[in-house]
Amino acid sequence: MITLYGIPNCGTVKKARVWLSEQQRDYTFHDFKKQGIDAAHLERWASTLGQDKLINRRAPLGAN
């Protein structure tokens, strides 16, 4: 099962959810705003992807 992490009003997340549904892929959605995220996930992602990939600098402040 795929877990998609994000916030529901993010355009990229919306596109990913549509694509997963069109591909008939089972997934769960983890809403950061409602469910939060633990430090272990963030540390693992930062060490794998780099901190710049985890921080959205494209969205205007307060947009989400």
60 part of a folded domain: no
Please tell me the predicted confidence (pLDDT) of residue 61. 59
Output the domain CATH number for residue 45: 3.40.30.10
First to last CA, the chain: 27
What tokens were used for 33? 């705003």
Number of domains in the chain: 1
Which residues, in sequence order, are CB contacts of 29 under 8 Å at separation 6+?
Answer: 3, 4, 6, 8, 17
Would residue 10 show up in a list of annotated catalytic residues for this protein? yes
The pLDDT profile of the chain, 64 residues, written as one tens digit per residue, is 999 999 999 899 999 999 999 999 999 999 999 999 999 999 999 999 888 887 777 766 555 5
Q: Which domain holds residue 45?
A: 2-54
Please tell me the predicted confidence (pLDDT) of residue 29. 98
Please tell me the predicted confidence (pLDDT) of residue 51. 84
CA separation for the pair 41, 2 (Å, rounded): 15
Pick the catalytic residue: 4, 5, 7, 10? Answer: 10
pTM comes to: 0.76
9 part of a folded domain: yes
